[in-house]
Structure 1
Amino acid sequence: MTAASSKGDTLRTTLLSIVILAVVTLSVYGVSFSNGFVMDDEVIIVNNPQTLSLSNIPDVLFAPDLIKPYYRPLNRATYLFDFQLAGMRPAWYHAVNIFIHLGNVVLLFLVLRLLLRDRLAALAAALLFAVHPANAEAVNFISARNTLMALFFGLASFLSYLQGRAEGKKLLWFSSLLYFCSLLSKETGIMMSAVLFVATFMRLQESERPLNWKDRIILLAPYGALTLLYFAMRAYSLQGIVGTPVPAEGLFSRLAINYHIIPQYIALLLFPADLTLFHKVPQGGIFSPAWYLPLLLLLLAVVVYIFRSGNRVAIFAFGWMVINYIPISNIVPIPSDFITERYLYMPAAGFFIWVGLLWRAGNVREGGRRWLIPATAIVLVAALVLTFQRNLDWKDNLSLFSSGVRNDPASPGAHYNLGTSYLEHGDIAAAQREWETTLRLNPQHAEAMVQMGTLAAVRGDLGTAERYYLAALAAPPGETDPDKAMAHLNLGKICEKRGQLREALQHYQHFLRTVPLTYLEYKGEVEKKVKSLMSTVKG
């Protein structure tokens, strides 16, 4: 066989593999095209004036997101162009997410082709990544597109880096630009700089030439320069706020909580049956629950074995997982849940490199393919079914939070959010029932108290409403409204009705200082009230 025919065969098999990946990915996520906007999509996309006009491009590029520590201009720009192309039709927005995920699947396959030199192993691992149920949240949640994009540009940068190391410097410059796009998509893209730094000290491909220190500095310089440019843009856009500070207080407890978080992420990768927005961090010591310690010890044994084996690709895959886990390890407090499936999307790429290595090891054994292909097919079909079912849960808020209650009937958060969904659908009785259930499960649930107070206020029972609001202020910080902004807003309305104008003004001002993203729609109305009351009180 000539070199040209061999290259042609390689191209045909690669294209065939990509077609297979596309068919499988689009088949499992095809149902998601009919899903709507859910959760934060309404605030970040639907009701965000930045998404409505191309004249907002300067604001998108050089202004913070709705939550100020976040600066993700490239991600926000995609929503702007989505609206220009398709208005507010959610099918288009879901299609963009799905095709970015497909791009990640293909890029992972191409990376694995280079690292493993085994097309079937690369295809098997990429197929499992394509349909893995834990990825459904990142793909279906339109507002999580930043995570999809960060991995897309991160993988593309790494692929260009690998090819540039083997073929020439032009691709290395292209790799640094792709890395910059990952940074502009989401802050966690910066972890790719650490991944690439590790890669400069490892020969992941036999065709890579050895590097001395000068070569490494030259190789990494463009990434460093673009990182500095990103931080300059970020500091300008956030008016000097570079990021979320790392408070020293509570650092040990935030690190210790990973004992209960890491096993859950491992379980999601290995046995992804517990799919929900409401993962809980168990309370207790190292034996609560009992299976956490054995699982962590098993992980430790696997890591020791990998390092003792000296397999550079396996060691690199472990490094990928650890590096990309750091941003979700709660060293920096994240204003979200401790455990969220979409956060696993970037670290999971390293896990699937391990999957490819294991598949290749089985494939080279005599007779290994006879059992390996059927076993892979069974796992693939099971994962496909679970992901298809999970995609249906993301149809709308009502179906999404109903699935949370089904998954864990004892979850206060699931019942609370289901109640808000019932309210959006006009079913006040069902909403009240869910909030009462929330308070039975957690008598200190501040947001449920506020909602119950609002129901009482609507019925004209201001005394009961006030008691609920005051109880909410005395409760621990809430999840979606930690500073009880809505309790202050509603207490302000009650005080205003009673003629207690100074007290009303204080509550309204507190609302404006602490209003969370979820309740920004009330900000304009309250600003008018404050302006009016200030003139009245001074007069």
Structure 2
Amino acid sequence: MNGAAKLEKSEMRNTVLQNCSVMIGLESLSYWLMGLAPTWFHVGNVALHAACCLLFTRAALSVAGLKTPFAALGGLLFASHPVHTEAVTGIVGRADVLACFFFLLSFLAYHDDGWWGTERRIFFSSIMAALSILAKETGVTVLLVNLAFDLYKSWPPVKRSLLDMQWNEESLQFARRAAKVFMVTSLLLVFRLAMLQGGLPRFSRQDNPSAFHPCPHVRMLTFCYLVAFNFWLLLCPATLSHDWQMGSIPLVTSLADYRNLATCLFFAGFLWLAYRIMADFESHKHAPLVLGAMLLCIPFLPATNLLVTVGFVIAERVLYIPSLGVVLIVAYGAQVLYEKMSGSARLQFLLTCWFVVMLASFCSRTMYRNLDWSSREALVRAGIRALPHNAKMHYNLGNYLRDTGRPELAKKHYSEALRLWPSYASAHNNLGTLMTEGLDAESHFLAAIRHSPGHVNAHYNLGQVYRRMNRSEEAVFMLERCLRLNAGYTPAYLLLAKLHSGPLVGRLLRHVIRLQPTSADYLAEYATWLLHNYRIAEAQKYYEEALRLQNSHRTSFLGLARAVRSKGPKARLHQLLLRWHMICCGQKRQRLVYTGDLYLRSWEHYKPGQVTSLPEQSDRPVVACNTVEMPSLLVPGSEDSHQPIRKLRSLPERSESNLRRPG
């Protein structure tokens, strides 16, 4: 994937439980057909977006009742809206586009009689709604939109039935449809909660600061302002960012805050719109306005923090479905104005020019925003330009600068992130990895642990610092705490193995390969320990297993050659070296190893300039590490039994001079 896609990796891990079988199936199909080529990923997203535009145009024309030119205008506005860039460009955004696709199919199946007959529309609409919720949980709102618009169309007979206290045929049919929709909605919600294991996701203060503020009035004022701000992004998408966490929008702490004026204006307009909608329930003169308000409000309701706490302040991708409502209202407004200007061709021409300019500005902004998503560097620098007071933006830029070999600039941006958000644990951790002085690094790792006691990487990195400072007892203690937080954190086991000697080292390395049985590096490391302890036959077995997993693994080739050399058979050694030389011919970067050098010289002495590969530097400072989660904190006491990790501290330690320094 491209750089911008990599930046979203952590966010994608957080949404694994949210984007379920449909999303996984589509990604698997895409990978099977095209691999990891980013071009085809973007082609797939654009194709889905184009399908959504066509479906929306169909809904505006056949359900809302817009005239053809204005339905087309709505489709063009939706296609070019800049706020959709994140959803169409990013990895996580595909879930929103896919949910919208099935959302529109469900809506058309329910309300467009030209698709399916009256008898089957509830069934097909429910199937599409289920697929939408499998893409993203907001897809369930299509059932509420379907029912609300059905009530709008059926209101006159329903009202008569309520006034007469007697069912009529039309109201009875509506009641049956409503009962089916409520039943399907209940089943889908139960299914969704079951997938979330009966609880809602948990978020931190840095994800959504307003939700964790202790004062209720501050929370309510900020939540209401955020609703108005989201609506403003749909009307004027001038400031866009891929991340709005950590103080991007300061809290509204008092009634004197001038931003409350924007909130009041928004809700005043919303109340006027609600009044017009209620009045139109009788006359049915403004169906596009009613439908647009429903599409705007109902799908956006879960993201308002008013029902449940969400893990973001602003997320442009969640505006993908609500933007349908805004675009429909704007297109309907254009139609009404054009009809009122029917007596003046000049005014109609000016109105046409206005919307042409609007479309051109949307297209220009979207193209410019796509350039921001063209690479990781462009995206993080665009974030800094849009939100220079956002600590997360400086943290992301610091990560990029660190990864590209500019540690001094990375330190500057990590420090700025901490100035803006002093309790930013990950920034403390990453800044600590760049510190050359042990005491400075220690202070940052301790700060990371203080602000986030469950920060696994900070515990591990602090253990490394203590090891380099020859404070072995404290290093072991930190590594033990690291493993209590995550018993499958393999780098901690490897570092513990370097802090001890004797049989325990073998048990730790054996446990590592149980956690990561497909890692050639870990198999080779365990085999090397076996070789050093004269268990040559076992070492040879693990070297061969590593080569089976990775046939060009240099460390395993050299280790196996040494094991064979210690047994004595020259023919087997020559066979190994010939095999290695054949691999080197296909991989020009590999360096040759000469048979005589391996057999006649001591293993530690090579010809001048000859380099052999080193084992993986497992004790480097860790910023992020994928690990295997284990249920308990145990290491093997023998080949088939386990003993608690606490017994590590009673074992002798190696001196600092024998420990491998981090790279």
TM-score tier by shorter-chain length is 0.7 to 0.9
Alignment correspondent of 1:216: 174
Q: Distance in 2 between matches of 1:37 and 1:231?
A: 31
Among residues 451, 473, 495, which one is paired with 1:499 in the alignment? 473
Greater C-alpha Rg? 2
Kept after mapping to 1: 8 A contact 2:372/2:382: yes
SS at match of 1:443: coil
Structure 1 counterpart of 2:444, which letter?
A: Y
Q: Distance in 1 between matches of 2:58 and 2:392?
A: 40
Among residues 336, 350, 355, which one is paired with 1:376 in the alignment? 355
Aligned pairs for 1:413-424 within 5 A: 413-424=392-403
Q: Distance in 2 between matches of 1:265 and 1:236?
A: 30
SS at match of 1:531: strand
Give how far 1:340 is off.
1.4
Matched, 1:241 2:210: no
Matched, 1:485 2:452: no
Matched, 1:469 2:445: yes
Alignment correspondent of 2:79: 130
Q: Deviations over 1:15-61 (max 9, x none)?
A: xxxxxxxxxxxxxxxxxx988624224784xxxxxxxxxxxxxxxxx
SS at match of 2:626: helix
5+ residue gaps, structure 2, are: 157-167, 204-210, 281-285, 491-621, 638-642, 649-663
TM-score (norm 2): 0.64
Among residues 227, 232, 235, which one is paired with 1:270 in the alignment? 235
Structure 2 counterpart of 1:156, which letter?
A: L
Give how far 1:171 is off.
3.6
C-alpha change, 1:295 and 1:397, in structure 2 (3 Å) is: farther
More helix per residue? 1
Give how far 1:237 is off.
4.6
Among residues 356, 362, 375, which one is paired with 1:396 in the alignment? 375
Kept after mapping to 2: 8 A contact 1:449/1:468: yes
5+ residue gaps, structure 1, are: 1-32, 45-64
Alignment correspondent of 2:61: 113
Kept after mapping to 2: 8 A contact 1:419/1:430: yes
Q: Deviations over 1:260-292 (max 9, x none)?
A: 202211221121111113442233334434452
Alignment correspondent of 1:184: 134
Alignment correspondent of 2:277: 307
Give how far 1:373 is off.
1.6
Q: Deviations over 1:384-410 (max 9, x none)?
A: 101100011011221111001112323
Among residues 428, 434, 446, which one is paired with 1:455 in the alignment? 434
C-alpha change, 1:509 and 1:438, in structure 2 (3 Å) is: same
Structure 1 counterpart of 2:428, which letter?
A: M
Give how far 1:530 is off.
6.2
Q: Deviations over 1:497-539 (max 9, x none)?
A: 6233244212332256999xx9873324999996369645236
C-alpha change, 1:40 and 1:122, in structure 2 (3 Å) is: same
Higher mean C-alpha displacement, 169-178 vs 86-95: 169-178
Structure 2 counterpart of 1:219, which letter?
A: R
Q: Distance in 1 between matches of 2:201 and 2:631?
A: 27
C-alpha change, 1:355 and 1:285, in structure 2 (3 Å) is: same
Alignment correspondent of 1:10: none
Matched, 1:93 2:47: no
Structure 1 counterpart of 2:455, which letter?
A: K
Q: Distance in 1 between matches of 2:646 and 2:152?
A: 70
C-alpha change, 1:93 and 1:289, in structure 2 (3 Å) is: farther
Alignment correspondent of 1:508: 483
Aligned pairs for 1:40-439 within 5 A: 40-41=8-9, 44=12, 69-70=17-18, 72-114=20-62, 115-164=64-113, 167-203=117-153, 212-220=170-178, 222-231=180-189, 233-234=191-192, 237-238=195-196, 240-241=197-198, 243-244=200-201, 254-279=219-244, 280-283=248-251, 284-290=253-259, 291-293=261-263, 295-300=265-270, 302-304=272-274, 306-307=276-277, 310=280, 311-331=286-306, 336-365=311-340, 366=342, 367=344, 369-439=348-418
Q: Distance in 1 between matches of 2:201 and 2:335?
A: 42
C-alpha change, 1:101 and 1:514, in structure 2 (3 Å) is: farther
Q: Distance in 2 between matches of 1:276 and 1:234?
A: 30
Q: Distance in 1 between matches of 2:95 and 2:83?
A: 17
SS at match of 2:321: coil
Higher mean C-alpha displacement, 387-396 vs 440-449: 440-449
C-alpha change, 1:178 and 1:303, in structure 2 (3 Å) is: same
Structure 2 counterpart of 1:322, which letter?
A: C
Q: Distance in 2 between matches of 1:86 and 1:42?
A: 23
Q: Distance in 2 between matches of 1:339 and 1:194?
A: 24
Q: Deviations over 1:354-384 (max 9, x none)?
A: 1121011022121353222211100000111
C-alpha change, 1:324 and 1:253, in structure 2 (3 Å) is: farther
SS at match of 2:153: coil
Higher mean C-alpha displacement, 255-264 vs 497-506: 497-506
Q: Distance in 1 between matches of 2:486 and 2:56?
A: 46
Give how far 1:235 is off.
5.6
Give how far 1:143 is off.
1.6
Alignment correspondent of 1:531: 635
C-alpha change, 1:71 and 1:79, in structure 2 (3 Å) is: closer
Q: Distance in 2 between matches of 1:387 and 1:211?
A: 50
Kept after mapping to 1: 8 A contact 2:74/2:331: yes
Kept after mapping to 2: 8 A contact 1:37/1:142: yes
Give how far 1:445 is off.
2.7
Kept after mapping to 1: 8 A contact 2:487/2:632: no
Q: Distance in 1 between matches of 2:366 and 2:99?
A: 22
Where relative contact order (Cα < 8 A, 6+ residues apart) is larger, the structure is 1
Structure 2 counterpart of 1:107, which letter?
A: L
